[in-house]
């Protein structure tokens, strides 16, 4: 990967809060980039909550649909 391409990739990640970047004291040209997983963990936790909500709704749907179907077949 070219250096400008690398810079662009890092900029996107930085804006998304997924990497942190700091300057090194003894080398003005160097940057230390580290991964931040916290935003991803938070998103994952949210998605799991959404999944639990839909699982809950689908259970209610199942109960209703099967009851309706039994009634119609009688």
Partner 1 sequence: MTAVRPGDQARATVLVAVPSDVAFQVFTEEIDQWWRRGLKYRVAGGNRGFIHLEPRLGGRLYESFEVKGSTKVFETGTVTVWEPPSRLAFEWRGVAFAPGERTEVEVLFVPSPNGTTVTVTHRGWASLRPDHPVRHGQDVPDFIRMTGLWWGDLMTSLREHLANRARPRS
**How many CA atoms does the CB half-sphere of 66 hold within 13 Å?**
6
The DSSP symbol for 38 reads: H
Segment near partner 1 (CB under 8 A); pick from 6-14, 19-27, 29-37, 44-52 = 44-52
Tokens standing for residue 58: 């689908």
**Spatial CA neighbour of 20 closest among 34, 30, 6:** 34
Counting contacts by CB under 8 A, is residue 35 touching partner 1?
no
Rounded Cα gap, residues 22 and 14, in angstroms: 11
CB of 3 to partner 1, least distance (A): 27
Q: Which stretch binds partner 1 (CB under 8 A): 6-14, 25-33, 39-47?
A: 39-47
Q: How far is the CB of 50 from partner 1 (least distance, A)?
A: 4
Q: Which residues bind partner 1 (CB under 8 A)?
A: 16-17, 39-40, 42-66, 68-69, 72
């Amino acid at each position: 990967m070219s250096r400008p391409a690398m810079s662009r990739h890092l900029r996107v990640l930085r804006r998304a809060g997924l990497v942190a970047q700091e300057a090194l004291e003894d080398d003005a040209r160097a940057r230390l980039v580290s991964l931040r997983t916290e935003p991803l963990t938070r998103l994952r936790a949210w998605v799991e909550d959404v999944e639990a909500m839909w699982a809950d709704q689908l259970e209610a749907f199942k109960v209703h649909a099967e009851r309706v179907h039994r009634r119609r077949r009688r």
